[in-house]
Structure 1
């Protein structure tokens, strides 16, 4: 009987341990608190930041009581519910990457929430984010999203990450102030839907199914384009980006157009403003060589004619004068 009782107690304690496993308690939360400062209303001296990455956490409901937090780092846990954030009106930064989220922003919007990282989760759909008008940075890379939507009212959004999702088209970004856009590793076939992004500076469209650069023209501030591993086959496609005044970095590795015999010098000639092509620095000498090859100035033509004439003469049989 005693043995049975002991076994029963052991089972019960194991069960209670299992129940507590993944549940955030006050002691663990205290370990993650740092950065003392005045609360947003300026009435109290409190901890402003919480950092608890990689703690196997699945239940963080206790954080509902931590109303003064301004930054929260919860990456690499097992969290699927962030409703506690409804009680954090002063939160400005949230990192909930590498968790088990299947929905996002399922909490009352903190008025000044600016930066959010929900990458590496299991989010299938984007929802209306009109309540989150202070958002400047939204990372949703490595999820299961098939359509960009709900961002119409995000008038402060300057960085958007949606790489490694299931997108087939670029839409839903009209008139946003996006400067950095990452749509790599999707199934996108056409570069449309970017025309109204007047502040775009960097775009990553690598590892898609794009065969034309049409849609990238007219972006006066664009300085980095990554199109590695796509299906651009014709050198003539470069005409769409040759008028971009600030373009400095272009990556077209693993595209069929690289197989053209004169690809390197033709690309440099069409894009003389570029300083890095296909992960290689473009030297001044290469730019000069490209111009001399593709559109040589008169003195270069004359020099080449002279060289040809000299070569021709030396190859003729020489007659010894009597």
Structure 2
């Protein structure tokens, strides 16, 4: 989703039967309550019920129904998959009665909080493009994938291992986060905390460092694109599983920071374009000297002869360092 300029559209012709803009606005604001008929039409996937004694529909697809009230769903206790995206919902509490839920999608609503009790079986949850202020109320022990992108979250302190011990994918793009130091989910394999908008807004993610990231030592994919990161000290500690790192569009200016990536022994793809350091002479070779494992740098393939050249330069540099150390030792005798 990106910011665009407003474009003037031609006004529709008026006639006696047409409603005024104010009337249309009022109509849009009127409550739209989910009915038995609409709920029934949304059901699919007939399966055995939880107790195995009967059959019930376990999927409800209620996307784009302009709903503001889904209270009736609390009676559909066998539902396991619920999609209520693109509505006008402000309250998800009717879902709390659905203890067999495996997946819930509530993107593009008007939620300011999640407000769900712990679901014992929930594995996938998505709440992107809402107005959610914080991450409290997420205590689902089997949750594996969570999308909180494009909200108003400014702190990740409620996202903890004790509450989300199975979580492997967290998307929290385009929020108001300035630090991930309190994020502590060692099970994470995929973390996306970049800024999605083409034009960065001043109140969106502005992370200046990645302190604490080493706690997530199972990470395989990490994207922090379009933040305010200036240094890479956080990678001095081993993150042996990291394969993909996107740190484009940050503020890394010192070529010495590249050396701090040397412990990323499994890294295959590094995206670091649009940082000041990329303008430094010998930048590409400096990266390859420290990261022999990578096959892509800024989406360009790394050739074998480049790796060999980088290896030779690294060896020569090491020899020069050793000779200098010997010379200093002799001078001190």
Q: TM-score range by the shorter chain?
A: 0.7 to 0.9
Query: How far 1:18 sits from its partner (Å)?
Result: 7.5
- Runs of 4+ in structure 1 over 4 Å off: 17-21, 292-297
Aligned-partner SS, 1:72? strand
What are the residue-to-residue correspondences of 1:54-203 with 2, within 5 Å? 54-104=64-114, 106-129=115-138, 131-152=139-160, 153=162, 154-185=164-195, 186-203=205-222
TM-score by length of 1: 0.82
The answer to which of 278-287 and 197-206 deviates more is: 278-287
Higher relative contact order (CA 8 A, sep 6+): 2
Please tell me whether the aligned partners of residues 251 and 279 of structure 1 are also in contact (alpha carbons under 8 angstroms): yes
Structure 2 residue 277 is the aligned partner of structure 1 residue 257: yes
Query: How far 1:178 sits from its partner (Å)?
Result: 0.8
Deviations 1:60-92 (CA, angstroms, capped at 9, x unpaired)? 111111100001111111111111111101001
Aligned to 1:208: 227
Aligned to 1:240: 260
Query: How far 1:123 sits from its partner (Å)?
Result: 0.5
C-alpha separation in 2, matches of 1:36 and 1:167? 42
Change (3 A) 1:201 1:18: closer
Query: Which runs of 5 or more structure 1 residues have no equivalent in the other structure?
Result: 1-13, 298-322
Aligned to 1:316: none
Query: How far 1:279 sits from its partner (Å)?
Result: 1.3
TM-score by length of 2: 0.79
Please tell me whether the aligned partners of residues 156 and 176 of structure 1 are also in contact (alpha carbons under 8 angstroms): no
Aligned to 2:330: none
Please tell me whether the aligned partners of residues 31 and 69 of structure 2 are also in contact (alpha carbons under 8 angstroms): no
Change (3 A) 1:41 1:171: farther
Aligned-partner SS, 2:153? coil
C-alpha separation in 2, matches of 1:50 and 1:225? 37
Query: How far 1:293 sits from its partner (Å)?
Result: 5.2
C-alpha separation in 1, matches of 2:155 and 2:184? 14
Please point out which of 228, 240, 243 is paired with 2:248: 228
Question: What is the aligned-residue RMSD (CA, Å)?
Answer: 2.0
Aligned-partner SS, 1:215? helix
Please tell me whether the aligned partners of residues 84 and 107 of structure 1 are also in contact (alpha carbons under 8 angstroms): no
Please tell me whether the aligned partners of residues 53 and 74 of structure 1 are also in contact (alpha carbons under 8 angstroms): yes
Aligned to 1:310: none
C-alpha separation in 1, matches of 2:239 and 2:314? 26
Change (3 A) 1:36 1:128: closer
Deviations 1:249-294 (CA, angstroms, capped at 9, x unpaired)? 1100100011012112221222111011111111213223433555
C-alpha separation in 2, matches of 1:294 and 1:216? 20
Please tell me whether the aligned partners of residues 65 and 87 of structure 2 are also in contact (alpha carbons under 8 angstroms): yes
Please tell me whether the aligned partners of residues 146 and 165 of structure 1 are also in contact (alpha carbons under 8 angstroms): yes
Query: Which runs of 5 or more structure 2 residues have no equivalent in the other structure?
Result: 1-23, 196-204, 318-333
Change (3 A) 1:239 1:21: same
Aligned-partner SS, 1:107? coil
Query: How far 1:137 sits from its partner (Å)?
Result: 1.5
Query: How far 1:135 sits from its partner (Å)?
Result: 1.6
Please identify the structure whose Cα radius of gyration is greater.
Answer: 1
